[in-house]
Structure 1
């Protein structure tokens, strides 16, 4: 910007442009991306002559600014238009060019891009006195150039093959050849020929573009009255207000339409253009003034399924009957309990019936047989029209065959609900009575009466905990397993202890419960049991002194609750599997998320009457983890892993299939109880959690290291494949994250820390503010080596205790650190390794949580945050996530935010999914933006 001048030109022969720029008395205001400290309070727009410097990325190590990034988005739009054929050829002076056709959704996208244009993109002034604010004109010019380039690159060969016209050939032939030549210019263009070709192309373009105007042609499908025919009626409607419409009969009668000077011409032209999308329309266009056309049932179905979507996508108005998409065709399951005492296990039998249903109407066998005989895709059933194709009809006939089975086990019924019927004919209604009806209602928790706090509990349950206890007791009474997936800190531990106490009221002595948990939680369970349930007899099966053989059997027989670890359960599987357990409980059940892992297989082999999983994150990475946990709780209920992957996992994770998500919620809903701390109807006295992102910049040293790592690692990635390539991608991400933390973290050279990292500087500032306010903070890092570097540095800077908990500490030392942090009133910082301290700890003394580097898994980060944001917390918790702008940290964060929109149950995909990105995608992910360096 400092090379701009008020007058004159650049150096001899150097091109210049006139830019309108925010200015002060000294000159143009520097771009914000330059990171200068100059502030101009009241800038004004002024014109400046700016020398132009053409360059290619290969010549300069340039960092794209916002205008270049913006036009990159415009380039993607241009490629998409070319791919979908939304372009037409054009004659621009003496050049053969391609231009975009913007109608319907494309026209809306164009307007959105024009509004979002950075001001610098429209700063160029081609002549004095031109008005400013030319976003649409600038965007159209850029889009046209990009479309032309993309079209030429996209055609695999010339439009004209063997024949190559010479210089004396007709202009149209030479123009056609030049549309795919590298050089679009045409020699010796005669004005008369050019005018004729331009006129034809202008009419062609105007006809295609007409759909993007304020008035458009509308097609309306009208269902028959009585035994009459279907009709497709024509008319005009407003593009902005679809309810403003005029039927074709009134248009031909001379009726006016707002925004259309010649409604008849608009209607006729629109109908003529629509023939290519709706070929049957040709019959109606043989009439001089068509108002509509009659179609039979098959024709109506073809319009509904095929032509209507094409017409709507092309910008036409389409109006369908209100029942389209609303009348549900599917299966209705009815079960009735057998006479006798109210008991329900998976092997109990119930009366069973499966019917075909349309909306809330059940189809009889005779009606279904008549539908099969007619074999028409649109049928009227009980006064409602329904789409019924061959696949649905076959599935309905199979359902009729299933009616011969008049009884099924409870397990079979539940599996039928889980499968949700066939893909072409889903299960839309379940009518069940008794306990099975309560379970399958999807409203079990709301319909249950809360179980009061057991008198032997040394404490009081909150109302939602009482409902959770009732839900656990209900499932246990049915012999079914479940997942208590309450948010971290909502009291899954005390709810489980209450269940054990409730089962032992009035002197009852059921067999012991085996609880399997991470080693870090043994002390927590021991203390919570002693505090809330002192009457429970507890045995800790862990360590070298644990009982074996007959001593183990005696200890289990004398206990109410046996606590062990996942590692011990794997080592002592044979001995534990021989015991008679009332239930097996897996705490932090994400530990068994990998169904193929040895510890997951081990706990599945320990038999018990019921099984219970406790986890705040039933899905951390993939939906297969939910299957694994459910397979532990209720073996076989979700079917084989392969069927689950096909039915739910792939549609949801790859296509975000709403129907599959709804079916999965219905299938797992009866067996998963999930409550959130942020839901004030669940818990109203928990403080708020305020999450924010802290944007950090890199130092010049970090920027140089970052670019060096990208250059080195991209060479390795592009030169490898398979497992080696995935390893290189993950290694590149690790090294870049280390650069973002601190150069010394990457180099591992023991060099000084001060003044070399933007992230560390921001952490120092925040830590100083926190301790000065008398508060405490948890600082999580996924790298133990980085925490080891930070601990002495921060302690010296703050002159306050900085505790450091990592996986290399003994259990006794971990407990000492936790007790000190919780009990000491002195302000302090607690550094924690995310892997070693992300679960199981109660650290409510902290009201600040800082994620200094990201795990890129929202579920894991939320678990770590919940060390402070849980019951017992009395202050608002501030959660800060550090992100280096302009780096892969910012771009991965954006990708995660988009994934969060999928559903709470399928967020958090770790880092492995990034390894499958293409080289171009990785290069864009890794690139260093100009805003990254301070």
Structure 2
């Protein structure tokens, strides 16, 4: 279990306008240590160890002075501090706890804590290792990064606190700054609702959040080094220069109260110019008249908030007679004219050029020069809009209407550009990728000579063919040089290079929309344009519409010699889409070379069973176990007789030389996040396998960090996302650390042609799914489980012949229970407190992986087991390995605790969670519709009882499709009993008994066959 990094905020107590405060880091360890002194926290990393860790992860050299013991109030019980929620399961919570002070070694974050917290969060994500962030750290990360966005938008104003002497003869004031925006107010409310108590122990959430925000703002302003000259330029001359460093400024004496009065009036005007008025002041930029191209009118308008269709130019308003102006005055408010002049004054403080327009009592607007108009459009307009004013710009200035300079790519096979053959609709892929280039502006072709004249223009705003356009002359000059080099000779690219060229919508390259290549690109970027296939011949199932489209997408990518990632949500049928693709290509081109499928050990049996179920005509070889073929020639010969060869990730590394001896038609990776580490030997071995096409299956292409995505793409289309170091520099760091939206959009456009992602919440998917989707998860026994299972079977076979009557039935029922325990996990059967590791049970491994996918999708789940002794270990394991909220309900749970857990689980404001329930205690009488996934870890051999448990989620109040997953171990009694139940249901719809006693009615031979182990299903990697 990893250690937990905590972050708290503590204010200092001073008489300043804003009391200083600091962020403190401390680390909670798993194993308690003997405290050095009484009152010290027993599970903490002490100062020296904490400082070493921070220096390593942040690659800095912090001085020891940053570490010191702090007194923290923490939940406590029985004379000691409670472990944090990350280290404590729901079942371990004491009935009562109290807050008590404990000495903890903390690291005080230096200046610029917002950036440090952001970097530390990024480093934990990338290289956290045995340390994970606590709830308090994650909360402060969210809050400080939200403040960062407000700072970047300049949503703050000067502030002042004033106080008068007792006799009223003197004043003192303390200058500062404050946030002023609706977004800030909403942030405080939202953050207060979700703030964990440990984030600032002992303080009320709303006040401590406001205090933290003010300190962060004052630190940012102090680092900006504003001067009195800057304040005067902003029309804040009535404020002293002490505003630039309010934390260092004392209370300043003043005999003249006008400073405070000026600020109060100004503050009231700023706050009052928001949404309380019935009108909004607007500025509209007009194009110049033809006879005066240098004169750009800037017009003042009043815009009704109640009726957005009502907007009136002030020139028109002032020209109206008084009697006609009165109705408009009532619409815009009784103090409209006064408020209007106030707002114009406030606008002039931001854009001082407007002061000249306010020399008259009835201002209507002003005229800008060409250079002033360009400066207003590029710089001033967005500042005014952020301040709450409306700015109306010409349509050609908007992102949608702007005419952009582009290099248009047109398919033009060499030697055919002048012939009709170049216009064929059936050009081959190689012909499509032979390009010619044209210079275009706003979609219109421009001759090189005319283009050169535009580049030589003296102003960035010019009239071109009757319309105003904005020119980036440096960029246009580069495009002209490129055209001179490549335009006439043409260029050959592959599909990946072409996608790179057109990845950024604002970049210089575009595809001719009438070209056949454009249709191909549209299909790559918009999967809905693909025509769904029909159910392929031989498929024993009916594909849903979205699955048919998924198979068509796989076929389309492979026709372009590209590889893709099928990233559908869990439960939407990635497996059956792959099987359908295998049958689909056989029906079109005959039997190809074999497909190699690499999957986690825990799902090898599931793949084999699904192929047998849906496409039994496909020849399948599961390559595993000690008896597997190890001779390269013999293996190659055997593989070529198969349609599908299935192998585990572990054997893909161990038998890499064997697998490399075959040229595979297709290489499929199930749960492709297993290659997320590009440096792992397993990943490198898989990359060396030779295959005509590649396919990745995963519900989580980005599990922890963007490098996961790079590693998967390095498998699919090597080199497409560049080298690892370049990807980290250009995408991972700007996106994950700096939250760069432009880089995010560019990366999304690069990868979207190769990822097909459908989620269960899509309307088209919801209507295509039944309300409850059931599927069985087949798992193999590990070698340890098989050994225990076989020993029990041998022992029972000896006792069975000597038993009869009640004794015989009791032996049979106890045997069923013991074998089911072994199928769950060896530790459950042995009862020896041995490690509850997924490596010892493929069933536990599969459950952990699937629940990870569920939580990653923001959904919750129920896990049922009939064994109380394993429920607690399941809950502890899931909480530790998935870092999620868990609950455990069993027969010994008190009524009060039961109701508390159900209420917390059902609360939509809480994070997604996993609820582990014993079948008898949780199978009836409760509603848990927050979950839409139900897992039966072990089976109760009665369909009615299992359905009753599943219906805890599938009942009135459930608004989503419910997915029920039933776990079975192959080659054991679980597989055979399930088959017996299915046979009975098919034959007569019979309902078996309410428990497992019906199995004890079998004769000895039938019972021996029932429990016998099929050794061919044992996996030994």
Structure 1 residue 535, shift from structure 2 partner: 2.3
Q: Normalization by structure 1: what TM-score?
A: 0.58
State whether structure 2 residue 313 is matched by structure 1 residue 247: yes
> What residue number does 2:392 align with?
319
The 5 Å alignment of 1:584-599 reads: 584-599=667-682
2:351 paired residue number: 278
Deviation at 1:398, TM superposition (A): 5.0
CA contact (8 A) 1:741 1:757 kept: no
Residue 471 of structure 2 is matched in structure 1 by 388
RMSD: 5.8
1:849-896, CA deviations, whole angstroms, 9 ceiling, x for partnerless residues? Answer: 79xxxxxxxxxxx99967479xxxx9xxxxxxxxxxxxxxxxxxxxxx
Summarize deviations over 1:189-248 as a string: whole Å, max 9, x none.
Answer: 6xxx54x66665565556655644725643221112325221222344456666544434
Q: 1:336 is matched with which residue: 405, 411, 425?
A: 411
Distance in 2, matches of 1:557 and 1:149, equals 66
| Post-superposition offset of 1:568 | 0.7
| 2:770 pairs with 1:686 | yes
Q: Quick one: distance in 1 between partners of 2:187 and 2:290?
A: 47
Q: Closer, same or farther in 2 for the Cα pair 1:447/1:437, shift >3 Å? A: same
Q: Secondary structure at the match of 2:395?
A: coil
Measure the CA separation in 2 of the matches of 1:115 and 1:527.
Answer: 49
Counterpart among 572, 575, 598 of residue 516 in structure 1: 598
Alignment match, 1:220:
284
Q: Point out where structure 1 has 5 or more consecutive residues left out of the alignment.
A: 1-55, 62-68, 119-138, 162-170, 696-730, 746-751, 768-777, 782-786, 801-816, 830-843, 851-861, 875-934
Residue 593 of structure 1, CA deviation: 2.6
Alignment of structure 1 residues 562-711 onto 2, 5 Å: 562-645=645-728, 648-650=731-733, 652-654=735-737, 660-679=743-762, 681-682=764-765, 684-687=768-771
Task: Report the alpha carbon displacement of residue 635 of structure 1 after superposing the two structures with TM.
Answer: 2.0
Q: 1:300 aligns with which of 364, 373, 390?
A: 373
Q: Which runs of 5+ in 2 are unaligned?
A: 1-98, 105-139, 166-170, 194-205, 229-237, 414-420, 774-853, 863-876, 906-911, 925-934, 955-959, 968-981, 983-1021
CA distance in 2, matches of 1:318, 1:466: 48
Residues 738 and 319 from structure 1, CA distance in 2 versus in 1: closer, same or farther, beyond 3 angstroms?
closer
Structure-2 separation of matches of 1:603 and 1:638: 18
Q: 1:230 aligns with which of 287, 296, 303?
A: 296
Contact 2:409 2:435 in 1 (8 A): yes
Cα distance per residue 1:605-661 (max 9 Å; x no partner): 112111112223333233332332222222223333444445554555456655555
Residues 345-393 of structure 1, C-alpha deviations (whole Å, 9 max, x = no match): 6x66633134454444344433321221114222334444333335543
Q: Does the 8 Å CA contact 1:849/1:865 hold for their aligned counterparts?
A: no
Q: Deviations over 1:150-179 (max 9, x none)?
A: 879987999999xxxxxxxxx999999999
Per the alignment, do residues 736 and 222 of structure 1 end up closer, same or farther by CA in structure 2, a change over 3 Å counting? same
Q: Which residue of 1 aligns with 2:158?
A: 87
Q: Does 1:560 align with 2:626?
A: no
Give the corresponding residue for 1:469: 551
Give the structure 2 partner of residue 9 of structure 1.
none
Could you tell me how far 1:416 is from its partner in structure 2?
A: 3.2
Determine whether 1:538 maps to 2:538: no
| Matches of 2:942 and 2:337, distance apart in 1 | 84
- Distance in 1 (CA, whole Å) between partners of 2:388 and 2:902 is 56
1:550 positional shift: 1.4
- Contact 1:486–1:615 (CA under 8 A) maintained in structure 2: yes
Distance 1:115 1:826 in 2: 44
Match of 1:418 in 2: 500
Please give the per-residue CA displacement for 1:330-355, whole angstroms capped at 9, x wherever unaligned: 5354342756996856x666331344
The 2-side partners of 1:640 and 1:149 are apart by 38
Deviation at 1:290, TM superposition (A): 4.9
- Aligned twin of 1:457: 539
Deviation, structure 1 residue 540: 1.7
Partner of 1:499: 581
Secondary structure, in 3 states, of the residue corresponding to 1:374?
coil
Residue number in structure 2 paired with 1:549: 632
Counterpart Cα distance in 2 of 1:818 and 1:766: 22
Partner of 2:199: none
TM-score, normalising length from structure 2?
0.53
Q: From the superposition, tell whether residues 76 and 527 of structure 1 become closer, same or farther in structure 2 (CA, over 3 Å).
A: closer
Quickly say closer, same or farther: Cα 1:403–1:758, change in 2 above 3 A: farther
CA distance in 1, matches of 2:730, 2:227: 48
In structure 2, what is the equivalent of residue 352 of structure 1?
435
Aligned to 1:821: 939
1:552 and 1:152 map into 2 onto residues whose CA distance is 68
Q: 1:62-104 CA deviation, whole Å, 9 max, x = no partner?
A: xxxxxxx9xx99x989x9799865134465543434689999x
Q: Provide the rounded CA distance (Å) in 2 between the counterparts of 1:541 and 1:155.
A: 66
Q: Aligned residue for 1:371?
A: 454
CA contact (8 A) 2:221 2:244 kept: no
Q: CA deviation at 1:60?
A: 14
Given that residues 487 and 675 in structure 1 are in contact (C-alpha distance below 8 angstroms), is that contact kept between their aligned partners in structure 2? yes
Match of 1:48 in 2: none
For the 8 Å contact 1:516–1:569, the answer to whether it is kept is yes
Partner of 1:928: none
Aligned length: 661
DSSP 3-state at the match of 1:521? helix
Task: Give the 3-state SS of the residue equivalent to 2:456 in structure 1.
Answer: helix
1:529 is matched with 611
Q: C-alpha deviations, 1:736-793, integer Å up to 9, x for none?
A: 9799869xx9xxxxxx9956998777669999xxxxxxxxxx9958xxxxx8xx9xxx
Please say if residues 770 and 961 of structure 2, whose CA atoms lie closer than 8 Å, have aligned partners that are also in contact: no
Cα pair 2:432 2:517 within 8 Å, conserved: no
Structure 1 residue 482 corresponds to structure 2 residue 482: no
Distance 1:665 1:248, change over 3 A: same
- Aligned partner of residue 231 in structure 1, secondary structure: strand
SS of the residue 2:764 aligns to: coil
Q: Please, which moves more after superposition, 644-653 or 484-493? A: 644-653
In structure 1, what is the Cα distance between the partners aligned to 2:613 and 2:949? Answer: 19
- Cα distance in 1 between the residues matched to 2:580 and 2:642: 16
Q: Go from structure 1 to structure 2 and tell me whether the alpha carbon gap of 1:349 and 1:426 turns closer, same or farther (over 3 Å shift).
A: closer
Q: CA 1:736 to 1:656, structure 2 compared with 1: closer, same or farther past 3 Å?
A: closer
| In 1: Cα distance, 2:589 partner to 2:301 partner | 80
CA shift for structure 1 position 304: 0.9
Specify the SS of the correspondent of 1:325: coil
Q: 1:758 to 1:269 in 2, by over 3 A?
A: same
**Residues 659 and 686 (structure 1), Cα distance of their counterparts in 2 relative to 1, 3 Å cut:** farther
1:491–1:503: structure 2 CA closer, same or farther, 3 Å change rule?
same
Decide whether aligned partners of structure 1 residues 523 and 429 sit closer, same or farther in structure 2, where only a CA change above 3 A counts. Answer: same
Deviations 1:28-83 (A, max 9, x none): xxxxxxxxxxxxxxxxxxxxxxxxxxxx998999xxxxxxx9xx99x989x97998
Distance 1:493 1:371, change over 3 A: same
Instruction: Provide the C-alpha distance between the structure 1 equivalents of 2:562 and 2:186, rounded to a whole number of angstroms.
Output: 56
Distance 1:661 1:608 in 2: 31
